Amino acid sequence: MGRRYRGKLPKEPIEMFIEDLSHDGRGVAKWNDKVVFVQNALPGERVMATLNRKTRNYNEALATEVLESSADRVEPRCEFYTTCNGCSMMHLKEERQIDFKFNTLKSNFHKIAHVEPAAWLEPLTDSHWHYRRRARLSVKWVAPKEKVLVGFREKNGRFVANMDHCHVLEPVLAELIKPLQALFLKMDIKAFIPQVECSVGEHAVSLIIRHMKPLVGNDLALLRDFANDHQLHIFLQSKGPDTVVPLEPYEQSLNFRLNEYGLNYEFLPNDFIQVNSRMNEKMIKQALQAMDINENDVILDLFCGLGNFTLPMAQQAASVVGVEGDQKLVERARHNASLNDLNNAAFHVADLTKDHLNSSWFNQPYSKVLIDPPRSGAWEILPLVAQTSATTLVYVSCHPASLARDAERLVNEFGFKCTKAGVMDMFPHTSHVESMAIFTRQ
């Protein structure tokens, strides 16, 4: 992020012509020979924009009036869109949003990887609405107004958006915003609750309530009543992630299903799972089709998490080895394999930024590899992947720049060929680009 520089910005809106879209979905204009990133603006538009931030290299602004509108502009469904940072592209037609994401991926391949896939995959899309089964919502007690805000941060990041519903959260979560505001308003420690983390399972909804002061008797009673009234699993978090504890024992675990594969996954409320359940199923199906698994395959699944890809691959392969750096996720993956009677899936804990040439899990022949790394990519583990006998590599990415950087290395250093690549609309109405690339070698 660019450093702020002193000096007064003009208070009056400035007319700007929008030339392009940035990687995060903001319009790109120029003012006084300096690049300006303009929220709520599209290429080809002429807007009045208010400058709200300046750095040495660029300025930032918000379009307050559209003088000449793009044919791709639509009226955002959400009344909080101009202030809430939960979404950034709701003013752009749905079909153009996925075009933007595809062009972002393509641009990264050309500029960073200098690689052209042999073919581009058709984008994977689904409903743009009520898709988020997980969210971290901020909480803020506003004393002068005797009000508690619960929602995403504002676009400037400094405040919590004043919202009472949401069109991208799953309905059961969207309908909790107002009740949560009313609950926290009654609590004695309302000024010391900064966030609530929400997760939707098949049969239960969980809330992790972060509290910076101990909960007293009255507050605990309020939480128990709220959990019973709304049929929730409530967890409390006093400090870091390791301090998450249930408000009271719950007989039923949180779970989600992959219906096409008949698989059931159990997870804890702070475990990583894919935010968009419908897109997750489509992504898994595309990955498995690309791998063309047969009953003799031995597959390595790196950054396997709680077994999202591992278990459906194990249904089709001779065996699958999943490797993950988070001990607790590995424990959950083992539990889920057992839960689904899959005894050909083995899991190991390993820091995949380190050398594992002599690790026990690496010392067997693999025919195919799948990797699903974090935003930082898989740079450190690529030499290990190259030393396997795998002929197919499926790379699932949540950051197109790190995918492109790794693709360049896979192709030019390790002799793979990029046969296909494409995008998946995991986060509609945002600039987040989820993608998949398939690499092969003889």
CA dihedral defined by 397, 399, 401, 403, rounded to 10 degrees?
Answer: -10
Q: How far apart are CA 45 and CA 74, in angstroms?
A: 13
Please indicate if the annotation marks 87 as binding a ligand.
yes
* 237 alpha-carbon distance from chain centroid: 22
Please indicate if the annotation marks 308 as binding a ligand.
yes
Q: Which one of the listed residues 198, 304, 398, 418 is annotated catalytic?
A: 398
Please indicate if the annotation marks 418 as binding a ligand.
no
Please indicate if the annotation marks 242 as binding a ligand.
no
Please indicate if the annotation marks 297 as binding a ligand.
no
Please indicate if the annotation marks 324 as binding a ligand.
yes
Please indicate if the annotation marks 351 as binding a ligand.
yes
Catalytic residue flag (residue 418): no
Residues in the chain: 442
Please indicate if the annotation marks 78 as binding a ligand.
yes
Please indicate if the annotation marks 19 as binding a ligand.
no
Instruction: Compute the Cα dihedral for 376, 379, 385, 391 and give only its sign.
Output: positive
One-letter amino acid for residue 395 of the chain: Y
Instruction: Compute the Cα dihedral for 229, 234, 237, 241 and give only its sign.
Output: negative
List of long-range contacts for 92-98, beta carbons under 8 Å, 24+ apart:
92/25, 92/42, 94/128, 94/428, 96/72, 97/128, 97/425, 97/428, 97/429, 98/123, 98/125, 98/423, 98/425
Please indicate if the annotation marks 166 as binding a ligand.
yes
Which residues sit in the known binding site for S-adenosyl-L-methionine?
274, 303, 308, 324, 351, 372
Which residues sit in the known binding site?
78, 84, 87, 166, 274, 303, 308, 324, 351, 372
Which residues sit in the known binding site for [4Fe-4S] cluster?
78, 84, 87, 166
Would you name the residues annotated as active-site residues? 398
